[in-house]
Chain A
């Protein structure tokens, strides 16, 4: 499947791009993270501590074991600091 991946804040800075389209057969977010992490050091560094990351699937907060079936957009970012 084709997924739009978005990165925000320091995750974007570590990966080096704000968004990209990837082809993947990953079933869960965690599998997608493993795939991305093997690409190169930038991704490995960005995903090195999942406890410091949050994920959204199609603009709704999700968990790392959430399924990706039907997803179009996945976003990775640090814990939010609004207000």
Chain B
């Protein structure tokens, strides 16, 4: 299990390749990369991501540990960035490896749902018209119920 919280960019391709090498005898690898989405009118100038140092790493480790308990995983990876990110930038990625694809898909989906609502990150959108904190969605909280 690898958990990284960093302000520096990461190379998604390189991370995927490195992760694949660490998953000896896995039959399936699922990866997901989250990007800074621009607004519909493309006026977003930056996304500020704040986090709670210490608690963030603990929360991510707990979420990844629970995924490993629930599914038969060979390995899992979470990278999440903080700081100021430009539109299109890679915010975060998860990767899961398992013997069978259903475990890898379910675990990645679970990690994403829990990252949204249980990892202490907060996003602020900065545009020409000002800065606004992104509100949590009820649907994100509801998504946890399916697990």
Contacts and interface: CB of A to CB of B under 8 A. Distances in A.
A56 B56 CA distance: 12
Interface string A34-60: 000000000000000000000010011
Question: Which bracket fits the contact residues of B?
Answer: 20 to 34
At the interface, is chain B mostly helix, strand, loop or mixed? mixed
Interface stretch (B18-26, B47-55, B68-76): B47-55
A9 interface: yes
Question: Which bracket fits the contact residues of A?
Answer: 10 to 19
Given A9-B50, A9-B124, A82 B116 contact: yes
Nearest to B120: A80
B133 A82 contact: no
Nearest to B117: A80
Nearest to B80: A82
Interface of A: 6, 8-10, 56, 59-61, 75, 77-83
